[in-house]
Structure 1
Amino acid sequence: MMNQTAEEDKSDDLSIINRRIERLRLHLDPIINKNEITPVLSMEVKRCRGGGEKEKGKKAAMEVNTEALSDYMRGEYRDVQEKVYEYFKGKPELQTPIEISKDDHRELCLRQLVGLVREAGIRPFRYVVDEPAKYFAILEAVGGIDMSLGIKMGVQYSLWGGSVLNLGTKKHKDKYFEGIDNLDYMGCFAMTELHHGSNVQGLQTVAIFDPITDEFIIDTPNDGAIKWWIGNAAVHGKFATVFAKLMLPSHDAKGVTDMGVHAFIVPIRDLRSHETLPGIEIHDCGHKVGLNGVDNGALRFKSVRIPRENLLNRFGDVSRDGKYTSSLPTINKRFAATLGELVGGRVGLAYSSVGVLKIASTIAIRYSLLRQQFGPPKQPEVSILDYQSQQHKLMPMLASTYAFHFATLDLVDKYSEMKKTHDDELVGEVHALSAGLKSYVTSFTAKSISICREACGGHGYAAVNRFGSLRNDHDIFQTFEGDNTVLLQQVAGDLLKRYQEKFRGGAIAGTWNYLTESMNAYLSAPNPVTARWEGEEHLRDPQFQLDAFRYRTSRLLHSAALRLRKHSNSLGSFGAWNRCLNHLLTLAESHIESVILAKFIDAVKSCPDESSRAALKLVCDLYALDRIWNDIGTYRNVDYVAPNKAKAIHKLVDYLSFQVRNIAKELVDAFDLPDDVTRAPIAMQKEAYTQYTQYVGF
């Protein structure tokens, strides 16, 4: 038996050697490999209508168990999302009409939130800290009903409520929790000012401690310090978490000492009469491009006095005699800790943006399967999704939607673990990862909604088919909770910090640990043999895909570090950063794409259902190779990909798009979005044209 095993091992070794020799011969031999990837099928030869007749001799479209895939996608919080959907389905008076005024939309949005909490019994606030994944699942479902409702819920529970829980102490939770939870204490998150948004440390609002009365005096020193775009402020808010510079009396020439930005609870309206309180000036920011169900307002404070206990004092406190104490030694450390506790807003936006992308993709793909136009002479018209150009628009987008789904799920898991453990390494990782994913995903979704609209032609322009409202409501996702360009710079800065640590002999941990290996690979020249490999098996190998993504990131990181060092000598650190800014943004996006692909590959491997796993593998390959092709110039410039390999990648992307098209219906069905959530007539699963014509009166 032992001899037989040894013989088998020897045979396997020879087989491996022979395969490697054959591969090498093929790549050195100019004769075209007979197993070269089959070009994408032409529309004149092939039509595939969701399991219909296939071209003779071609591989049949894969079968997908939609229910199993949907179970894997939606996970353990499917039930609470269904509860949200069922509640609003049974409340037609709470469904947002196509045409609605700003004021009516705001009142409807409030009724929707009150109904969800008090009638349906869904209490999101209870999950903000203890079970964030469930909270974000509710947020995704609510955003599908109306994005304004999702944002209003986020302002109430993530921002206003979250600031009380995360920045306050037990006394604040005991006093405010129930009122926030049941919506008696509607509140605002007053951070952004007219002159300062992303630069939070530059805020100008002040909170001066008065030791005689044991109060803080909140003041807006100039018009640039007016709090701006504050959700819930214009109409419904009764409290605001106000971010201001904490100023303590001192005996020096200045008379006060700046202790840095802190958060304070400031009542803005009377709890009974709802009248604006003395010293507080509130104005309506007015009609916006989108999200008009959210009542954004501007706040000015004129010597508003609040008790000392209204300081949210988790990271810094002031005693009765005016002494400041903190467990953190510096302003910068306290500021970082404060913002670190508020990172949940970015996590929620990244996660919710994927939900918006699912809706837009579902509408566009279902319509593209339904709509038929042109075709071979004297034959029936074909589905517009059978056209390569439509596949090119929508199939990589669908693949990205799946990729983002798994990446943001992983982010939520990391965030949940961070809330439990408060591990410093994890805090840093979640901060950078949430910044990168929020930026990358929301930018991609914003562009994709417009592509979906165009892909649906004139019918995509009808308001009832939702692309306009989705685009307008989602557009601000690129700006609030951190401008995307600024957030990408934070990612780049974190990468450079870890790069320096590596070359000082330190270890790179967390999501960045791949840089240790890939940086070493980058510092050696690309393999001229593997640069020419063009077989489908090789191109669809997850290791090749990951190596390519990570090689690009490592190369960009190394070159960015060299360029910054070079320009710092003549321009200084700020000037050098600005000179290299576009390079740094590309670096950050490359890193985030690497992270997304790694999480997608892990999700494919972990999928228990065989048919679902095969479908996910196909979609993952399209995501990876489409990204490589889109940046093929980078790979060609450094000879990482030879011309023949680049051509093979391009062909394979087209072919994979065609294969994904064959299961596109099943893939969007797996999102499990009911018709009353997608709401667009052209996306209805039954009698779409009938419902569309009935809408206009036929």
Structure 2
Amino acid sequence: MDSPNTNPTAEDESQLVSRRIQRLSLHLTPIPNSFIRDHHQLQLLTCARVKLSVNTALLSDFLRGKHRGIQEKVYEYFKSRPDLQTPVEISKDEHRELCMRQLLGLVREAGIRPFRYIVEDPSKYFAIAEAAGSVDMSLGIKLGVQYSLWGGSVLNLGTKKHKDKYYDVIDNLEYPGCFAMTELHHGSNVQGLQTVATFDPITDEFIINTPNDGAIKWWIGNAAVHGKFATVFARLLLPTHDIKGVSDMGVHAFIVPIRDLKTHQTLPGVEIHDCGHKVGLNGVDNGALRFHSVRIPRDNLLNRFGDVSRDGKYTSNLPSINKRFAATLGELVGGRVALAYSSVSVLKVSMTIAIRYSLLRQQFGPPKQPEISILDYQSHQHKLMPMLASTYAFHFATLHLVQMYSEMKKSHDDQLVGDVHSLSAGLKAYVTSYTAKSLSTCREACGGHGYAAVNRFGSLRNDHDIFQTFEGDNTVLLQQVAADLLKQYREKFQGGTLAVTWNYLRESMNTYLSQPNPVTARWEGEEHLRDPKFQLDAFRYRTSRLLQSVAVRLRKHSKTLGSFGAWNRCLNHLLTLAESHIESVILAKFIEAVQSCPEETRVTLKLVCDLYALDRIWNDIGTYRIVDYVAPNKAKAIHKLTEYLSFQLRNVAGELVDAFNLPDHVTRAPIAMQSEAYSQYTQHVGF
């Protein structure tokens, strides 16, 4: 590879001047056909020059896909039942009871049965959960606790006898249940759980005990008020005849009744307390559970990955505690998939409110001219347009994750299981963190009116905030992604097969880590910057450099600090690596969506995709500059083009949020109403 020339020749200067003249001419004259490789590229380059015409209906159909009908059924049900719509002001206890009525109505009156789709068609289940969460986030979470967590644990960790006994009564809400994993002292470190289930061979029962305060099950949804059963995760202890007296077989899941089916009274030995008022999601009744020698039948062990016979012998088709634990958690990965997917729906709602208001609100303008929309200001475009582009990017990435998860549930392919585990961890962490920050930005973008509770940013922000902790703390999940990247990196050099999500690493280790081409580093033409190959190469180059450099650092520090100390020393580097990889996956899936969308929507989606890619590159431009991947003139061109694409996106922002197809009774914010927004807002306060 040629090295950079530090003393430009006259020929170099001539080429530079020629490129600049050529770039200027693109703004002044039509693009000659000789510049265009095919019809699609002509469309894509033209879109930056003209006001786009967006086919909103077609774009909406492409976004919402085959499950649009079931989501509209959810929306229509709640539109027909205004008594079930969540008011702006509501107490904790009232909200809990309303949330339970909402769920009962959805299942028993509207006839929407999410449970059947947990296994049959997970993508349809996630679509129902997304729609329910858009109506009230507490409803979406309560639905998830009942069907994905409590019901899903019975289906995924149990066997036929459990499905035969519990399926119908979970499905029709006769048996509301809980998912009792998290403890006061242990959340992310599930292998460190302290609750114990000791087998008693005399009575053929397990005895569930909470050995200390740190082992109290905490933040358990459905426990405080409505739950009758709980899937309790506990260490399975078997009596032995040696000096230890017991053998610890690791964490297993058990079905434990917690309330009487008829009287709803707390059962003997079970202690339940209310976790109280929370920052958000107060429609979900979180409680704390302590067990005092609670006896359950041996059959209540969810025994798909490990079983205990009548005489107390343990059997499993998996040879070790670690493998059984990994298999157990692998079956519960759907919760992360759901949170990533649902977080995007929260972002859609907030973007719809913020952009519609920003188009409506007028303020200042040229002297003696009408006031202009606040979305016409560059600063406002800078706040909201990259965020809108990210919303679209996340939609396609999480849709891909749902499709992978659905395929995994059908095939049970080991490689796909590992791929879904890592990708769900990364997308859940990345998307929920981004959405949490974006909700505050959207509130600020709506000024004082964004602070009114009726316009929903407060409740959206508070309800969503815990998504960053649900199903694994985001920092912990990103470390899982980084660990998997390093594993794939090692296996690459040992001739192993890379998992689907990591395929690009095979090429990246050879191509992306070569010395940056000094010519390419200076290319600043719009057609080059908007080329998907340049964008994806830039994302993957960054990930590859981060992966290689952190591998070297870990090897160096492990000699003096040990593996744990080295990991901690490099932790921020590892988190950046994981985020960079996830951004690469997001962009790859967005590019694929642009290529596969209806032709009438391609120019618009390409514009959105380009803004997402170039905005991310610009936000991390220092990384590219420090290794000369991007020269100063190219960095400047990226910044200018990002601003221009934001301006172009502003012209179709209303149509792009309309394509989310969220009815007014779902968004519910007066400032986001599609007609007479101000009059509805003033009526709300009594005018």
Matched, 1:577 2:537: no
From the superposition, tell whether residues 37 and 521 of structure 1 become closer, same or farther in structure 2 (CA, over 3 Å): farther
> Which range is displaced more, 498-507 or 299-308?
498-507
Stretch moving more, 30-39 or 557-566:
30-39
- 5 Å matches for 1:543-622? 543-608=533-598, 610-622=599-611
CA RMSD of aligned residues (A): 1.3
In the alignment, structure 1 residue 319 sits paired with structure 2 residue 316: no
Ranges in structure 1 where 5+ consecutive residues have no aligned partner: 1-22, 40-57
Cα distance in 1 for partners of 2:24, 2:241 equals: 81
- Alignment pair present for 1:361 and 2:354: no
**Residue matched to 1:425:** 415
Which amino acid counterpart does residue 168 of structure 1 have in structure 2?
G
Secondary structure at the residue paired with 2:288?
strand
Query: Which residue does 1:694 correspond to in 2?
Result: 683
* Aligned mate of 2:616, from 604, 627, 630: 627
Instruction: Give the aligned partner of residue 156 of structure 1.
Output: 146
- TM superposition shift of 1:33: 3.3
Aligned-partner residue type, residue 421 of structure 1: S
**CA offset digits 1:540-578 (Å, max 9, x no partner):** 000000000000000000001000000000000000000
1:35 correspondence with 2:20: no
Give the aligned partner of residue 42 of structure 2. Answer: none
Q: 1:666 and 1:26 mapped to 2: Cα distance?
A: 44
Pick from 330, 335, 341 the counterpart of residue 345 of structure 1.
335
CA deviation profile, 1:656-691 (whole Å, cap 9, x unmatched):
000000000110000000000000000000000000
Letter of the aligned partner of 2:20 in structure 1?
I
How far residue 27 of structure 1 moved from its aligned partner, in angstroms, is 5.2
Whole-Å separation in 1 of the counterparts to 2:64 and 2:12? 44
Structure 1 residue aligned with 2:474, among 470, 484, 494?
Answer: 484
Confirm or deny: 8 A CA contact 1:194 1:223 kept in the other structure.
yes
Paired residue secondary structure (2:20): coil
Task: Indicate whether 1:661 and 2:636 are aligned.
Answer: no
Give 1:672's aligned residue. 661
Deviations 1:339-371 (A, max 9, x none): 000000000000000000000000000000000
Determine the C-alpha separation between the residues in 1 that align with 2:196 and 2:15.
69
Of the candidates 56, 78, 82, which is equivalent to residue 92 of structure 1? 82
Match of 2:388 among 394, 398, 419: 398
Conserved 8 A contact 1:232-1:297: yes
Q: Does 1:125 align with 2:115?
A: yes
Give the conservation status (yes or no) of the 8 Å contact 1:192–1:230.
yes
Residue 32 of structure 1 aligns to a residue whose secondary structure is: helix
For residues 291-316 of structure 1, give each alpha carbon's deviation from its aligned partner in whole angstroms, at most 9, with x where no partner exists: 00000000000000000000000000
**Shift in Å, 1:524:** 1.5
Shift of 1:25: 7.7
* Amino acid across the alignment from 2:410: K
**Superposition deviation, residue 504 in structure 1:** 1.5
* CA distance in 2 between partners of 1:125 and 1:235 (Å): 21
In structure 2, what is the equivalent of residue 264 of structure 1? 254
Q: How many residues align?
A: 657
**1:301 and 2:291 correspond:** yes
Q: 1:136 matched to which residue of 2? A: 126
> 1:37, 1:651 within 8 Å by CA — same for their partners in 2?
no
Q: Identify the match of residue 451 of structure 2 among 458, 461, 472.
A: 461
Shift of 1:409: 0.4
User: Does 1:542 find its partner at 2:552?
Assistant: no
Q: 1:174, CA displacement in angstroms?
A: 0.2
Greater shift, 25-34 or 247-256, is seen at 25-34
The alpha-carbon deviation at position 29 of structure 1 amounts to 4.4
- The match for 1:330 is 320
Q: Is the contact between residue 501 and residue 507 of structure 1 (CA under 8 Å) also seen in structure 2? A: yes
* Secondary structure in 2 matching 1:217: strand
Residue 32 of structure 1 and its aligned partner are, at CA, apart by: 3.3
The match for 2:220 among 216, 222, 230 is: 230
Q: Distance in 1 between matches of 2:567 and 2:242?
A: 37
* Equivalence for 2:137: 147
TM-score, scaled to structure 1: 0.93
Which amino acid is the alignment partner of residue 199 of structure 1? N
In the aligned structure 1, how far is the partner of 2:99 from the partner of 2:140?
Answer: 9
Q: 1:507 aligns with which of 488, 497, 510?
A: 497
Partner Cα distance (1:442, 1:142) in 2: 18
**Structure 2 residue matching 1:35: 3-state secondary structure:** helix
| Equivalent pair of 2:132/2:139 in contact (CA under 8 Å) | yes
Of residues 263, 278, 289, the one that matches 1:288 is 278
Q: Partners in 2 of 1:248 and 1:163 — Cα distance?
A: 23
2:204 paired with 1:214: yes
d(CA) in 2 for partners of 1:199, 1:98: 37
1:172 alignment partner in structure 2: 162
Matches of 1:141 and 1:416, distance apart in 2: 19
Identical aligned residues as a percent: 82
SS of equivalent residue, structure 1 residue 216: strand
Answer yes or no: is the 8 Å Cα contact 1:63–1:611 preserved in 2.
no
Determine the C-alpha separation between the residues in 1 that align with 2:666 and 2:676: 16
Distance 2:247 2:80 in 1: 57
Q: Which residue of 2 aligns with 1:74?
A: 64
Distance 2:23 2:372 in 1: 30
Q: C-alpha displacement at 1:508, in angstroms?
A: 1.7
Separation in 1 of the partners of 2:522 and 2:463? 46
- Cα deviation for residue 580 of structure 1 reads 0.2
Q: Does the Cα contact within 8 Å between 1:519 and 1:554 map onto a contact in 2?
A: yes
User: Following superposition, which runs of at least 4 residues in structure 1 exceed 6 angstroms of deviation?
Assistant: 23-26
The match for 2:189 is 199
Partner of 1:638: 627
Map 1:521-536 onto structure 2 (within 5 A).
521-536=511-526
Shift of 1:507: 2.8
For structure 2, list consecutive stretches of 5 or more residues without a partner in the other structure: 1-10, 28-47
Answer with 509-518 or 229-238: which moved more: 509-518
Q: Is the 8 A contact 2:207 2:296 kept in 1?
A: yes
Which string of whole-angstrom CA distances, capped at 9 and with x for unpartnered residues, describes residues 130-173 of structure 1?
10000000000000000000000000000000000000000000
2:253 matches 1:255: no
Alignment-derived partner of residue 470 in structure 1: 460
Alpha carbons of structure 1 residues 36 and 340: separation in structure 2 relative to 1, 3 Å: farther
Q: Could you tell me which amino acid in structure 1 is paired with residue 663 of structure 2? A: P
Report the residue type matching 2:290 in the other structure: R
1:37/1:535 contact within 8 Å kept: no
List per-residue Cα deviations over 1:580-622 (Å, max 9, x = no partner): 00000000000000000000000000002x2311100000000
Deviation at 1:521, TM superposition (A): 1.7
Alignment-mate amino acid for residue 321 of structure 1: D
Instruction: Give the letter aligned to residue 679 of structure 2.
Output: T
SS in 2 for 1:550: helix
Cα pair 1:27 1:529 within 8 Å, conserved: no
> Does the residue aligned with 1:189 lie in a helix, a strand or coil?
strand
Structure 1: distance between partners of 2:12 and 2:417: 47
